[in-house]
Structure 1
Amino acid sequence: MFLHTAGIISFLASFKFLEEWETEISSSFGGHYQFLTIIGLALALCTFTVGLIADITLSPSLFQAKNYLAVCSTPLEVLISILFWGLCAIDKDLVFPPDSELSFLPNFGFHAAPGLFLTLDLLLFSPPWTIDGFATVALSQTIAFLYWFWVEYCYTQNGWYPYPIFDILNTWQRAALFAFSAFLMTGSTMLLKWLYGKANGLEHFQAEAIGVLTTARAKAE
C-alpha cells in the first residue's frame, strides 16, 4: 500500500506539472498524449490506482486486474526510460522540442520514477507473470505500431511531430525505429521476467526469459 501510494503521488505530481506547463503541444490536437511518455505515465497511474484499491479492499479480482495492467505498463515504462536516456546521451535535441527542455527533477518524474516504481512492485509484491514469448512479442509489436499510427494521425492534424527525431527520419526509418522499439520492449519484458526469477528463486523463469531473448536475437540476425 505504501509503494502504491508513493507511486500515485509521484505520477500525479508529474500530471500537475503538465497542467502548469504551457507549450504549443498542450493546445494542439492530442495534447501531451502525443508523447509515449505521457501515455505510459497514464497507464502507470491506472495500474497503481487499481493496485491501491485492491490493497484496501483485498479484492482478488482487482489484484488480478492490477497484474494484467502491469504486464503492459511495466515493460513500457522500462522501454521509455531506455529510449529517453539513451537518446539524451546521444543528443537531447532528438527528444526535446525547441525551448521545451526540462530540468532534472521533472525529467526523473516522467522518465525514470514510473519504471522504478513498477519494477519494485513487480519484483517484491506481484505473483509470477504467465505471459509467454509469443504473447510478449505480439503485445510489444501491437503497442509500438498503435503508437506509430497515433503519432502519424496527430501529424496529419498538427503538421509536426512531438519528438524531433521523427522529423529527421523518413517513413521507412520511422517504421524501423518502431520495430526496434517493439524488440526492445520484448527484451525489457524478458529482462523483468529474468529479474523476477532471480529475486524470487525461480530458475525456470530465468531459463524461459533467456530462451526467448536468444530466439529473438537469432531471428533478428
Structure 2
Amino acid sequence: MSYPNSDCYQLACLASNIFSFHWLMTHPNRINESFGWHFQYLTIIGLSLTTLTFSIGLLADISLSPALFRIKNSLSVASAPMELLITLLYWGLRAIDPALVLPPDLPQLPLAADMSFHLFPVLGLLADLLLFSPPYAIATIPAFGLSAGIALVYYAWVELCFANNGFYPYPIFDEAGLQGRVILFAGSAVVMGVATALLKSVYGAVNGWDVDGDASHPATRESRKAR
C-alpha cells in the first residue's frame, strides 16, 4: 500500500534526477561522443537505477499495484547500497585527490550539479527506505552475491569501453593498473555488501525491526503499512 506523501516525495526525487540528466544533455563534452556515453560512469548507472526505482515507486503509489510495489522494493535493494557506495567512493577519493575521479580535461561540475549527481540520490533513497518502505528481505550472503555480480558486470563494461575509447572513465582506473583495478572492484563489492547490511541495521534501529524483517516492537510494525 502507499504511504502518505510518498508520491510527492518520489516526484521531488525524480525532479532532482531529471535535472542531472538535463545537465548531461545541455553540457556535452567528449564523453557524449565516446562509446558507452556517460553510462561508462558508475555514477550515471546508479543514477539511472535510482530514477527507475523512484519511477516504479511513483507508479505504484498512483496505481496501488502490489506487483509494482514489489518491483520497486526489489530495485531499492540494489540502488540504495550502490548509491551509498558511489557517494563514499566519490567524496572519499575526491578528498584525497580530485584528479582520481575528475579528468583534468573535462569541465568541473558546479556545486548544484555535483550534489545532484553524487549526494542527493543516496539521501533520497535512504529517506525513502526509512520512511516509506518495508525492510529489505535479502539475506547477508545473497546481498554480497548481488554486490559481487554488479561489480563483475561493471568491470567487464569498463574494459569494453576502454577497448573502444582508449581511456577509462575514472583516472584512478588507469593509475591503479590491472592488479589495482581488480582490488578496487573487489573492495567495492565488499563495501556495497556491507552497506546493505548496514542499511538493514539502521532500518531496524529507526523502525523497530530486526535485520531479518521480524518485528521487535509489534505496535511499531502494525503502525506501518506493508507494501
CA distances 1:14-47 after superposition (whole Å, capped 9, x unpaired): 0000001211111000010000000000000000
Stretches of structure 1 that go unaligned for 5 or more consecutive residues are 207-221
1:70 alignment partner, one of 65, 73, 76: 76
- Secondary structure of 2:137 counterpart: coil
* Contact 2:16 2:120 (8 Å CA) reproduced: yes
Answer yes or no: is the 8 Å Cα contact 2:139–2:212 preserved in 1: no
- The count of residues paired between Structure 1 and Structure 2 equals 206
TM-score where L is the length of structure 2: 0.89
Counterpart-to-counterpart distance in 1, 2:206 and 2:67? 25
Alpha-carbon displacement from aligned partner over 1:85-131 (angstroms, at most 9, x marks no partner):
00011000000012322121111000111100011111111111110
Calculate the aligned-residue CA RMSD, in Å: 1.1
The match for 2:224 is: none
Residue 112 of structure 2, aligned match among 105, 109, 112: 105
Cα offset, 1:203, TM superposition: 3.7
Paired amino acid for 1:133: T
TM-score (normalizing by structure 1): 0.91
Contact kept? 1:196, 1:205, Cα under 8 Å: no
The runs of 4+ residues in structure 1 deviating greater than 3 Å are 203-206
Residue equivalent to 1:30 = 36
1:96 maps to 2:74: no
Give the number of the structure whose residues are more often helix, by fraction. Answer: 1
Q: Percent identity?
A: 48
Q: Distance in 2 between matches of 1:105 and 1:70?
A: 24
Per-residue Cα deviation, 1:23-81 (whole angstroms, up to 9, x for no partner)? 11110000100000000000000000000000101111101110001001010001000
Alignment partners' CA distance in 2, 1:37 and 1:149: 16
Of the three residues 2, 9, 13, the one matched with 1:3 is: 9
Asked which structure has the greater RCO (Cα within 8 Å, sep 6+), the reply is 2
Please say if residues 197 and 205 of structure 1, whose CA atoms lie closer than 8 Å, have aligned partners that are also in contact: no
CA positional deviation for 1:135? 0.3
Is residue 135 from structure 1 mapped to residue 142 from structure 2 by the alignment? yes
Q: How far off is 1:204 after superposition?
A: 4.7
5+ residue gaps, structure 2, are 1-6, 214-227
